[in-house]
Amino acid sequence: MTTGQLVHINLGKVRPLRVGERKLMSAIGKTPVPGPVSVGLLGLAGDEQADLSVHGGLDKAVYAFPLAHLAYWQQQRVARSVSLFEETDKTLPPGFVGENLSLTGVREEAVFIGDRLHFADCVLRVTQPREPCGKFNAVMGYTQAARDMVQSGCCGFYLAVERVGTLQSGETFELVPGARQTSIAQALAFKRHKHLR
């Protein structure tokens, strides 16, 4: 079994987000909280989702993201010269890409659909990779960000709640293998090839 750490728990409220010429409601920008945070079947207490057709629900109750990927996304923002009015050389904060859980010790290549993350007081099951949308482009500040997420595989993964309970920043977890048929990286690659046809 693999062990990892929950470094940050991030929660967000629905608020306006400009996507091109449109203003949409989104809770993509999340902020770290210390916890403990209650975990129910539909996600973390205090966290909101604006569009339940693409985020939230039983199979996408919680979004986990390898903390190391924030450095990659920071490099992308610098390389794309995001904005003349925005500093791009600062480290991206936890929750920036919409993640609820900032994790260490796990990556998309080694996490499989059906694996379970066993925390001290709850159990979460891996369901699918994140598929980014235009809101991700808006937050990142350039129009190819969603494509870059799919190409790079730096996407994180969604979790269903198998055992409700609480989470605490800093706690460790065990990644308990499931059937191990399809990794998150493989599932994302399949979706990528499907879209290219």
> Quick check: helix, strand or coil at residue 149?
helix
- Quick check: pTM over 0.95? no
Q: Which CATH class is domain 2-66+93-196?
A: mainly beta
> Quick check: helix, strand or coil at residue 108?
coil
Q: Can you give the pLDDT at residue 133?
A: 83
Q: Can you give the pLDDT at residue 89?
A: 60
Instruction: Give the pLDDT of the chain (197 residues) as one tens digit per residue.
Output: 799 999 999 999 999 998 888 898 999 999 999 889 999 999 999 999 988 877 889 999 999 999 999 999 999 988 886 554 455 567 899 999 999 999 999 999 999 999 999 999 999 999 999 988 889 999 998 889 999 999 999 999 999 999 999 999 999 999 999 999 999 999 999 876 654 44
How many angstroms separate the CA atoms of 172 and 164, rounded?
17
Q: Which residues pair with 7 in a beta bridge?
A: none
Alpha-carbon Rg for the chain in angstroms? 16
How many angstroms separate the CA atoms of 80 and 58, rounded?
36
φ, ψ at 110 (rounded to 5°): -110, 5
How many angstroms separate the CA atoms of 92 and 72, rounded?
10
